[in-house]
């Protein structure tokens, strides 16, 4: 009897991009964007050190080189942060530490009675392979911090970030494909995908 192949309908049949991340939300966002370019995304659970540095690009480059060293494959990593204007760009590259300590409530407390709610998310993707030095791709989304948390989707600071080009909802009130219309990560991923698939 002839064997049937088990490839799900709509599965992208092009190249595979290996994403080293511990964050399943980031992976789902990346898979959704890269499929627009017929790229399949594989999540790799490889160790990749995350240094502290004032520049996301430095953190991402260091991390991707460590990941390549540990798995010997061409891979990409992504480092992102929330930069709040009234806090001189804090938490920025320290977003993960701040999220894991004082959390979203901590940022809302710091922002109490502050009228300037301008903020942006920045994403830096770094790709490298055993014979290729890191190449970076950057994405940014401008927005405002809400006064309270809204929504339950997404992760991190999504419940307090309202993108300027949106309809007033926070990222946590948007499904993945809606967040990908505006997000810093989706913008960096699209630039990466153009380069990677060419
Ligand atoms: P990796 O394993 O890929 O490094 P991570 O969760 O550690 O995943 P980052 O270091 O890049 O990711 O992210 C820093 C923090 O910034 C993260 O913990 C979130 O709190 C926040 N953050 C980054 N991107 C975000 C987004 O799209 N929405 C909300 N918060 C975000």
Among the CATH numbers 3.40.50.300, 3.30.930.10, 3.50.50.60, 3.90.950.10, which is that of 16-197? 3.90.950.10
Residue 102, pLDDT score: 98
3 alpha carbon to ligand 1 midpoint, in Å? 43
Per-residue confidence (pLDDT) for residue 149, from 0 to 100: 98
Residue with tokens 């709040």: 84
> What is the DSSP secondary-structure string of 15-33?
-EEEEE-S-HHHHHHHHHH
Q: 9 CA to middle of ligand 1, Å?
A: 31
Per-10-residue mean pLDDT, the chain, length 198: 44 80 97 97 94 96 98 97 98 97 98 98 98 97 98 98 98 98 98 96
Predicted pLDDT at 14: 72
Catalytic residue of the set 79, 131, 158, 177: 79
Is residue 167 annotated as a catalytic residue, yes or no? Answer: no
CA of residue 99 to ligand 1 center, whole Å: 9
d(CA 48, CA 143): 30
Work out which ligand 1 atom sits closest to the CA atom of 50: 4
DSSP string for 137-189: EEEEEEEEE-SS---SSSSTTGGGEEETTSSS--GGGS-HHHHHHH-HHHHHH
Rounded Cα gap, residues 127 and 124, in angstroms: 10
């Amino acid at each position: 009897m002839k064997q049937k192949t088990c490839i799900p309908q709509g599965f992208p049949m092009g190249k595979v991009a290996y994403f080293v991340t511990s964050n399943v939300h980031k992976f789902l966002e990346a898979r959704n964007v890269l499929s627009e370019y017929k790229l399949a995304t594989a999540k790799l659970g490889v160790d990749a050190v995350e240094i502290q540095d004032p520049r996301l690009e430095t953190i991402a480059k260091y991390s991707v080189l460590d990941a390549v060293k540990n798995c010997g494959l061409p891979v990409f990593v992504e480092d992102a942060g929330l930069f709040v204007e009234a806090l001189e760009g804090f938490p920025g590259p320290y977003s993960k530490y701040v999220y894991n300590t004082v959390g979203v409530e901590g940022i809302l407390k710091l922002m109490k009675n502050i009228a300037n709610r301008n903020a942006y998310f920045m994403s830096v993707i770094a790709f490298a392979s055993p014979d290729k030095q890191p190449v970076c791709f950057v994405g940014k989304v401008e927005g405002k911090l809400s006064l309270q948390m809204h929504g339950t989707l997404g992760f991190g600071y999504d419940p307090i970030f309202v993108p300027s080009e949106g309809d007033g909802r926070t990222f946590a009130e948007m499904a993945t494909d809606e967040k990908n219309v505006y997000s810093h990560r989706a913008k960096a991923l699209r630039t990466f995908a153009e380069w990677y698939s060419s």
